[in-house]
Each structure stands twice: as C-alpha cells, then as structure tokens.
C-alpha cells in the first residue's frame, strides 16, 4: 500500500491517476495541505519555593491541526463534469462529485479531500474530530475540505465509485482469483456492474 494509510486511499489514488491521464486533473498531491487550528495552551501560575516565588507554566492543551488527505489541481476540462463551477449553469448538481475548496469563489481550481470508509465509526479516531475540524477550517479560512467515501462493493449511493466510475486497477483487483461456491475466476466482487471512465463519460454525455 506504500505511503497510503488505507485501501480507500490507495484506490482513490488510482481514481485520480485515471483522471490525470485523461487530462481532467493537472496534478494531485497526498497530504500536502495542512491547516493549523489552535495553538498549544498553557496556564501561567506562581509557584511557592522555599525562599522565593517562581513563575511557572502548566500544560493544558496540545495544538491542533488538520491535513487534507488529497489536494487535487483540476484542469478546466473537468469543469461541471467532475468539479462544480458555481458561476456557470448546470442541469443537475448531484452528478458533479467534487467541490472546489475555496468557497468564496476564488480562481484556484483545487479540491481538498478527506477520505473516509463507508459505515465505520471508531472511537478516538479522526472520524470523531473531522466534522468539527472541517467546520473550523471553513469558518476561519474559507476553505472546504470535502469528505469522500471512495468505494463499497455494494451499490451504496454515498460511494464515489458507484456514482461515477471504477478505476481499471480497482476492477482488476476486486475480482475473484479462484473459484468459489458463489463465483468463478474473473468474476467481479462488486455487487453492481462497475463502469470505466470512458463508459461514465459516454453515460453522462448521452444520458
């Protein structure tokens, strides 16, 4: 899995690579956009020594920050296909999967992405803190970090791959390599028919 922390991140990188090869993305970077949220908090107090007073500090809170999992730099070719341009009319906003990070309508064609698995919730992880950090960055920096659920083998409406296309590498990886009671070698593990980028583009163009 190399530098990626999860299968979801790895599979999403394949998704971005296909878009880059097709000319929709200029570049993408992993864990490059960091936002400092709060500073370290210490409490100043006076400590009574044997023969004198001394100024001391007590640690209270760690600093906090958030780093987007992926930074996407879009080409204009992807406008209102993969990223939304709010200044141009669209027929159906729901089929455009990504939002630009600058919510104030700046010229930067970037999306900041936080990758999450579908339907998981673990205590003491970023699953708890992310929504609060997301709101804080949006309020203080005017930057939107978008949560993306890349895939699920079942047809889930919240899954990016289900709503758009499945990268070819993922289609190859998510196939049965041996015969089982429920499938044969080469059968897909997806519970829906995965479509390629080209098939998706044909679908939205002709649909």
Q: Per residue in 42-72, pLDDT tens?
A: 999 999 998 999 999 999 999 999 999 999 9
What confidence score (pLDDT) does residue 124 get? 42
More confident call, 83 vs 117: 83
Average the pLDDT over 14-33 and give the result: 96
Question: 69 near 101, Cβ under 8 Å?
Answer: no
* Listed range (13-22, 42-51, 120-129) with the worst mean pLDDT: 120-129
Range in 9-18, 30-39, 102-111, 172-181 the model is least confident about: 102-111
For residues 142-168, give the mean pLDDT: 94
* pLDDT the model gives residue 119: 63
Would you say residue 125 has pLDDT above 70?
no
Residue 77 per-residue DSSP state: G
Question: Are 66 and 137 within 8 A, CB to CB?
Answer: yes
Q: pLDDT tens for residues 80-89?
A: 999 999 889 9
Instruction: Decide if 24 contacts 75 (C-beta within 8 A).
Output: yes
Tally DSSP H helices, then E strands, for the chain: 5, 8
Give 96 or 205, the one with higher predicted confidence. Answer: 96
Question: For residue 123, what pLDDT is reported?
Answer: 47
183-193 residue pLDDT tens: 788 889 999 99
Q: How far apart are CA 31 and CA 9, in angstroms?
A: 11
Mean pLDDT (whole number) for 130-153 = 93
- pLDDT confidence tier of residue 206, bands split at 50, 70 and 90: confident
Mean pLDDT, rounded, for 113-139: 79
Contact partners, residue 53, CB within 8 Å, separation at least 6: 46, 47
Of the candidates 81, 86, 105, 120, the residue with the CA atom closest to the CA atom of residue 207: 81
Which of these ranges, 155-159, 160-164, 168-172, has the smallest mean pLDDT?
A: 155-159
Q: What is the mean pLDDT of the chain?
A: 90
In whole angstroms, what separates CA 3 from the centre of its chain? 15
Q: What is the pLDDT of residues 3-16, one digit of tens each?
A: 888 999 999 999 99
Query: 31-34 long-range contacts, Cβ below 8 Å, gap at least 24?
Result: 31/67, 31/68, 31/69, 31/70, 32/67, 32/68, 32/71, 33/67, 33/68, 33/71, 33/112, 34/65, 34/66, 34/67, 34/68
Q: Which residues pair with 28 in a beta bridge?
A: 72
């Amino acid at each position: 899995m190399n530098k990626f922390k999860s299968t979801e991140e790895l599979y999403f990188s394949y998704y971005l690579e296909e878009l880059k090869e097709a000319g929709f993305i200029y570049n993408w970077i992993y864990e490059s956009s960091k936002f400092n949220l709060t500073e370290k908090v210490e409490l100043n107090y006076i400590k009574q020594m044997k023969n004198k007073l001394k100024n001391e500090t007590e640690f209270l809170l760690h600093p906090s920050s958030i780093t987007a999992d992926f930074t996407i730099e879009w080409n204009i070719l992807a406008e209102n296909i993969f990223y939304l341009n709010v200044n141009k009319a669209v027929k159906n906003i729901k089929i455009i999967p990504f939002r630009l990070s600058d919510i104030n309508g700046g010229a930067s064609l970037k999306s900041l992405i936080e990758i999450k698995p579908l339907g998981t919730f673990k205590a003491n992880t970023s699953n708890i803190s992310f929504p609060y950090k997301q709101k804080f960055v949006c309020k203080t920096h005017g930057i939107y970090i978008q949560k993306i659920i890349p895939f699920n083998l079942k047809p889930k409406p919240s899954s990016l791959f289900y709503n758009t296309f499945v990268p070819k590498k993922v289609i190859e990886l998510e196939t049965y390599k041996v015969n089982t009671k429920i499938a044969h070698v080469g059968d897909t593990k997806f519970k829906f028919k995965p479509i390629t980028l080209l098939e998706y583009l044909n679908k939205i163009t002709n649909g």
